[in-house]
Structure 1
Amino acid sequence: MAREQLGICTEANLHGSYLFFNALEGHERVLRHKLARLPQLFDRLAVHFSEALLTSVVAIGSNYWDILYPDARPAGLSPFPDLPAEDIDLAPVPLDLLIQIRSDRLDVNFIAAQQVLQLLQGHAELQEHIQGFRYLDGRSLTGFIDAPCNPKGKAKRVAALVDHIQQPVFAGGSYLHLHCLNFDLSNWQQLNTKQQEDIMGMDKVSGKPLPPPLQAADSHYAVVQPDIARGIFLQQNMPFSQPKVQGMLQLTYCADADVLLQQLKRRLGLAEQNQGYDQLLNYSRFDFSAAFFVPSISFLELAARP
């Protein structure tokens, strides 16, 4: 049975480190071996620092997949869609690798990130390193509970992990859409609570959706809640803050690539019966977006064999 990467369905942590790489040309054979070693590296650290609850994700960019693993490709894996949304630039970028590190200790994340950099040195170039953090017990920088529609318990695995019957080779893997969003915190904070709740479509304290008569069809809640009939997904988001930039890393995992595409269209107001794009995007800007596939540990190890 395929062993999934534990960072996909993990519970929320206090700290996150996200390392984005582009691979050096001609280093594919070595990188296959290096990437297969990463889960073992993280396992050793997780045992040594057991109280930190360390987990990880090794994700392969959609544009790089065929170069790194030319013998098999997940069904539906494609470059991040550059959709024609009016006045909204998704800023898609072709990133080759994402290494996600999450734990309850910032120093453990630092140690893990340093070991990743040492392992990949000379084979992949670091493009970006973003530090995320848990904010006010699971809220985004809006002050509202983040991802209130997320599946719970065993439903996480159903939503996020590829089923072995549908794709035996990629069982336990997950499709991933990532957004780095820059949030206009100063303008947001000028709104009163009622205005914020109208935009978000939910109560600021409890996170419960507003009653249907009060909830706009293009409120954030109405647009991002999963379409149960078409498939659900799992969000593992984290706020980040830099001296001049505050925002959110949004990571959406799903067992079906098409569900991610349809959800993105809904948020941009491009899906059928949509009545507008997500109102929260009036206070956000996409710094970059990318599409990845997160293979199972079993796949990483098998693909590294001669």
Structure 2
Amino acid sequence: MSTSVGSGGRLLQAVDAPLTRSATFLVLAAKPGQDALDTIRSTLSGVEGLAKNVSIRDLSASFNCTIGIGSNIWDALTKLSRPAELHPLPVLKGSVHATVSTPGDLLFHIRSNRRDICFEFERQLLGQLGPSVEVVDSTVGFRYFDARDLLGFVDGTANPVGADALDAAIVTDDKGSSTSNGGSYVVVQKYLHNLATWSALKTEDQESIIGRTKLDNVELDDAPAGQQRSHKTLTTVEDEATGGEHGIVRDNMPFGSPASGEYGTYFIGYSKKLWVVERMLEHMFVGDPPGKHDRILDFSTAVTGSTFFVPSVEVLGGLAGLVGE
């Protein structure tokens, strides 16, 4: 389990870990009862040891696991004040498309350059959690060529890097909930693509929808205000006071199976301000201006949507002291 040190010396989960060749997105629901809570607390507090046990098999494989906790279980599990913005992902309805809000108490974002390392960690993790949880969704992602999605475009170009990534993702000023500092909000969505319909478009039309050229990833000019905007523009949220952009850290991954005809993108976005991600989704599904939705949604359908909070390593470690309470 990779970590870093944030301001104030708080140990952070590595939400800014570099893109790997493989990832597993595991969403779990907690079973009711004190025994289930205690098992989850014990497992989460000891996950750093589990991570070391698996990652030691290949230290060059860039293994990392980031853990998020959902709003429905936060209070009972942690007995800490709830992060100020933590709530289920809202359903945002446009005239044509709408987000979906799906349940989830725990998120494990498992990353490595080796698929077998991700597999082994997931196997041991679920073995420790046992009947305390049930699997809501498990999606295996992979890097596709030069970090492209299955629509054929480079994904994540606008990601902040280095100190800017931590500044975009890590909460540092949540005065209403000191336990939130050093943590991050994370939104996950699973999109399924209609590749046959998408592939029937001319390349120029695809580029107009995305806002970048397909071959060399060059950014195209924004459409004037009030006109149909590209995906790139609609997912950019500007600060009304300064005009600067509110960044988020994405680690999207393609997934799918040609044999079953399933092709998709698993979106995952970390942010110190949940409203920024929600505003991006509002622009996509409702439109900016309203009525002019993101045309990528005519080819990509969101089938899941959940919000979690990624606490600091200290908060996870402190769960051990709550076992039995």
- TM-score tier (shorter): over 0.9
- Equivalence for 2:4: none
1:268 touches 1:278 (CA, 8 Å); kept in 2? yes
Contact 1:170 1:299 in 2 (8 A): no
Q: Of 180, 183, 190, which residue of structure 2 is paired with 1:173? A: 183
Q: Distance in 1 between matches of 2:234 and 2:85?
A: 23
Deviations 1:155-201 (A, max 9, x none): 11000111156453222211011110001111111112111111111
Greater shift, 238-247 or 214-223, is seen at 214-223
> Equivalent residue for 1:292?
308
| Superposition deviation, residue 145 in structure 1 | 0.9
- Aligned counterparts of 1:86 and 1:127: Cα–Cα separation in 2: 29
Alpha-carbon contact 2:93-2:286 (below 8 Å) kept? no
Residue pair 1:141, 1:239 contacting (<8 A) in 2 also:
yes
The answer as to 2:44 corresponding to 1:35 is yes
Give the distance between the partners of 1:226 and 1:53, measured in 2 at CA.
31
Partner of 2:10: 2
Task: Select between 224-233 and 136-145 the one with higher mean Cα deviation.
Answer: 224-233
- When normalised by structure 1's length, the TM-score is 0.93
Q: Work out which of the residue numbers 180, 190, 200 in structure 2 matches 1:190.
A: 200
Identity of aligned residues (%): 28
Match of 2:134 in 1: 125
Q: Residue 222 of structure 2 contacts residue 230 of structure 2 at CA under 8 Å; is this kept in 1?
A: no
Among 188, 209, 219, the alignment partner of 1:199 is 209
Deviation at 1:281, TM superposition (A): 0.8
User: How far 1:17 moved relative to its partner?
Assistant: 1.1
Are 2:234 and 1:248 equivalent residues in the alignment?
Answer: no
Mapped to 2, the partners of 1:24 and 1:281 lie a distance apart of: 34
Instruction: With the length of structure 2 as denominator, give the TM-score of the two structures.
Output: 0.88
Note the alpha carbon deviations across 1:216-273, whole angstroms, 9 max, x for none: 64211111124254632111100100323110100011001221222221222355x4
Partner of 2:320: 304
Supply the distance in 2 between the matched residues of 1:22 and 1:133 (Cα, whole angstroms): 24
- Contact kept in structure 2, 1:149 and 1:226, CA below 8 Å: no
Match of 2:27 in 1: 20
**Alpha carbon RMSD of aligned pairs, Å?**
2.0
Aligned-partner Cα distance in 2 for 1:194–1:260: 28
User: 1:138-157 alignment to 2 at 5 Å?
Assistant: 138-157=147-166
CA distance in 1, matches of 2:80, 2:119: 35
- Cα distance in structure 2, aligned partners of 1:97 and 1:217: 37
1:20 Cα deviation after fit = 1.6
Q: What secondary structure does 1:305 align onto?
A: helix
Letter in 2 for 1:299: V
User: What is the alpha-carbon distance in structure 2 between the residues aligned to residue 157 and residue 53 of structure 1?
Assistant: 19
Cα distance per residue 1:51-105 (max 9 Å; x no partner)? 2110111111222222322331001111110122223232211111111111011
Given candidates 284, 294, 303, the residue that maps to 1:278 is 294
Query: Which amino acid in structure 2 is aligned with residue 235 of structure 1?
Result: R
Aligned to 2:5: none
CA contact (8 A) 1:217 1:275 kept: no
**2-side partners of 1:77 and 1:223: how far apart?**
24
- Look up the equivalent residue of 2:198 and give its one-letter code: W
Segments of 5+ residues of structure 2 without an aligned counterpart are: 1-8
Q: Does 1:110 align with 2:119?
A: yes
Return the offset for 1:37.
1.2
Please, which runs of 5 or more residues in structure 1 have no aligned partner? none
SS of equivalent residue, structure 2 residue 305: strand
Identify which range, 136-145 or 230-239, moves more after superposition.
230-239
Q: What is the number of residues matched between the two proteins?
A: 304
Amino acid corresponding to residue 222 of structure 1 in structure 2 = T
Q: CA deviation at 1:275?
A: 6.4
Describe the superposition over 1:81-136 as per-residue Cα deviations: whole angstroms up to 9, x where unpaired. Answer: 01222232322111111111110111111111111111111211122221100011
Measure how far apart 1:214 and its partner are: 9.2
Corresponding residue for 1:237?
252
Q: Residues of 1 paired with 2:276 and 2:223: CA distance?
A: 28
Q: Equivalents in 2 of 1:190, 1:67: separation in Å? A: 50
Contact 1:217–1:223 (CA<8 Å) still a contact in 2? Answer: no
1:158 aligned residue: 167
More deviation, 130-139/203-212 = 203-212
